[in-house]
Amino acid sequence: MPDISVVLPSILQPLAGGQPILTAPAEGPVTVGKLLDSVTGDYPVLARRLRDETGALRRYVNVYVGGEEVRRLQGLETEVADGQEVLIIQSVAGG
Amino acid sequence: MGCMATTESIVLAIGTKKGLWLATSQDRQQWSFSGPHFLMSEIPSIGIDTRNGRTRIMVGVRSEHWGPTVAHSDDLGATWSEPEQGAITFPEDTGAAVERIWQIYPDAEARPGVVWAGAEPISVWKSTDGGEHFELNRGLWDHPHRGDWGAGYGGAAAHSIVVNPAGDNVHIAMSTGGVYRSLDGGTSWEARNKGISAYFMPDPNPEFGQCVHKIAADAAVEGRLYAQNHHGVYRTDDNGEHWESIAEGLPADFGFVMLTHPRREGTAWVVPLKADGERIPPEGKLAVHRTDDAGATWKRLATGLPEGEYNSVLRDAAGVDTAEPVGVYFGTRGGAVYASADEGETFTEVATHLPDVLCVRAAVVADAELPGASVPEVAAAQGA
């Protein structure tokens, strides 16, 4: 089965050993939350950039599944299917 | 400490809305700069720890996108380390998440590994490993007043920590909540705001709820502290039991800064702003005011400061060093930074057009070259 890919913005890639894409083996549908647990397991600093210590997605971090931002879907409970690509993009913020 | 020998330098750390700048100087007139470090992250807190035979610079870093963290450098900013699991993170049972690190405070010489931190949401933290990992202070977190503490405009935070070098007295200040004191090294806490006005509340003299902007201890007089309040400047001589006004002689009693001399009795600095509703220097004229008699009288100090200045100076955007005479440093929300090598009598502009200055700290360190430093035009022009 095809893996699930998580595409990182360039600014976060150094926190994943320089990798632009992290992959998780597809073993059936998985939630975004579990997927992030899986791909950031070896990169705790990266994990903290995306979510705070309660597990909540940081306010200006957007995660897209199938072109939709997960807050418009089921948040971190949104399911990702085999072969899908998940995009992490920082939103527009700051001045 | 003491006189500046030729083998010593001053390191000046400037935390701004968009990154950190570091500067060093041997004469406190000409500065070499490096930065920005952490470009596009704000640096609201800095601690320079010169204990343990090294210079460790700790910074609270906060990205609008990627959240808050604490980093430290033992080589004057050449490299930065960030503990993998985070230096300050709330335990799971609290259900809370750190928003911003407001204060990093190295403890006394006698407790060389101890570093305190204050954060938003209102919380105090203590590290015993030089600032790499901090434990939440449960006594304050579980305090029965917690539900009634409020948020100032900048957020609800414990922003001031003062630890008695000789004993177990710890005073903190929060906005809003006021001053809390612990006599047992931080195990238990009691509000200590008697005499401090909370004019913005129905009862202007509550037990707690004051918006104390900054507190600092008199280094030479046991039990004496000074407070810059949200309107009101105060002193206590009995460890916080009672506060009395020392605002007479100042052009305004509003402001954020409170600095004290590292050795000499009765010496403190404030930077008055006109009023809560007019947060500019009085008449647009920026000045530092110093007392040498514990607040009985104040001296206006503006030599070298601009004629017209409408930016404010935030609570941690000012600091002193420990050289002789003491250096005084501050930065404005307009991105200018001023230094005085003579306790405020004269200032020179050491940087300008930086992002909003949030935090300024200075320390005497063993003579050291700043990695990657350059002398910017403003400093070069001053030296010419």
Residues of B in contact with A48 (CB under 8 A): 67, 69, 86, 89
Residue A95: inside a domain, yes or no?
A: no
Residues of B in contact with A45 (CB under 8 A): 82, 84
Average of per-residue pLDDT across B78-90: 96
Q: Please give the share of chain B, as a percent, with pLDDT higher than 70.
A: 95
pLDDT in tens, B332-346: 999 999 999 999 999
Residue A56: inside a domain, yes or no?
A: yes
Indicate whether B1 pLDDT > 50.
no
Quick one: DSSP state of residue B78?
S
Q: How many CA atoms lie within 13 A of A10 on its CB side?
A: 0
Number of domains in chain A: 1
Of A52, A91, A94, the CB nearest to B67: A52
Of A45, A53, A90, the CB nearest to B90: A53
The two beta strands, A4-7 and A85-90, are parallel
Residues of A in contact with B63 (CB under 8 A): 49
CA distance B132 to B82: 8
Average of per-residue pLDDT across A66-74: 96
Q: Which of A53, A62, A90, A91 is the best substitution to test chain B (most B C-beta atoms within 10 A)?
A: A53
> What's the CATH number where A51 sits?
3.10.20.30
Average of per-residue pLDDT across B80-88: 96
Among B3-17, B143-157, B235-249, the range scoring the smallest mean pLDDT is B3-17
Indicate whether B381 pLDDT > 50.
no
Residue A79: inside a domain, yes or no?
A: yes
Entry pTM: 0.94
A94/B66 Cβ within 8 A:
no
Query: Which of the four pLDDT bands, split at 50, 70 and 90, describes residue B376?
Result: low
Query: Which of the four pLDDT bands, split at 50, 70 and 90, describes residue B366?
Result: confident
**pLDDT given at position B6:** 52
Nearest-CA distance A9 → chain B (Å): 12
Residues with Cβ within 8 Å of B231's Cβ and at least 6 positions away in sequence, in order, are: B197, B199, B253, B254, B275, B276
**pLDDT given at position A93:** 66
For CA atoms B83, B88, B93, B98, the dihedral sign is: negative
Per the structure, the complete domain to which residue A27 belongs is given by 3-90
Residues of B in contact with A50 (CB under 8 A): 66
Residues of B in contact with A53 (CB under 8 A): 86, 89-90, 92, 96-98
CA B257 to chain centre: 8
Average of per-residue pLDDT across B44-71: 96
pLDDT in tens, A8-60: 999 999 999 999 999 998 788 899 999 999 999 999 999 999 999 999 999 99
Indicate whether B382 pLDDT > 60.
no
Query: Which of the four pLDDT bands, split at 50, 70 and 90, describes residue B384?
Result: very low
Q: Which residues pair with B290 in a beta bridge?
A: B269, B299
**pLDDT given at position A78:** 97
Judged by a CB distance cut-off of 8 A, whether residue A1 touches chain B is no
Residue A65: inside a domain, yes or no?
A: yes
Average of per-residue pLDDT across B262-281: 96
Average of per-residue pLDDT across A57-66: 96
Of A45, A56, A90, the CB nearest to B82: A45
Query: Which of the four pLDDT bands, split at 50, 70 and 90, describes residue B153?
Result: low
Indicate whether B379 pLDDT > 50.
no
Query: Which of the four pLDDT bands, split at 50, 70 and 90, describes residue B181?
Result: very high
Query: Which of the four pLDDT bands, split at 50, 70 and 90, describes residue B378?
Result: very low
A49/B97 Cβ within 8 A:
no
**pLDDT given at position A88:** 97
Residue A17: inside a domain, yes or no?
A: yes
Q: Which of B18, B65, B80 is the best substitution to test chain A (most A C-beta atoms within 10 A)?
A: B65
**pLDDT given at position B216:** 98
DSSP reduced 3-state for B169: coil
DSSP reduced 3-state for A34: helix
Residues of A in contact with B90 (CB under 8 A): 53-54
Higher pLDDT, B309 or B200: B309
Average of per-residue pLDDT across B175-181: 94
ipTM exceeds 0.90, yes or no: yes
Rg, C-alpha atoms of chain B: 19
Of B67, B95, B97, the CB nearest to A49: B67
| Burial group, residue B219, by CB count within 10 angstroms (0-12, 13-18, 19+) | middle
Quick one: DSSP state of residue B327?
P
B294 φ, ψ to 5°? 60, 30
Residue A13: inside a domain, yes or no?
A: yes
Residue A52: inside a domain, yes or no?
A: yes
Average of per-residue pLDDT across B82-101: 97
Query: Which of the four pLDDT bands, split at 50, 70 and 90, describes residue A2?
Result: confident
Judged by a CB distance cut-off of 8 A, whether residue A52 touches chain B is yes
Residue A28: inside a domain, yes or no?
A: yes
Q: Which residues pair with B11 in a beta bridge?
A: B24, B363
pLDDT in tens, B99-144: 999 999 999 999 999 999 999 999 999 999 999 999 999 999 999 9
**pLDDT given at position B336:** 98
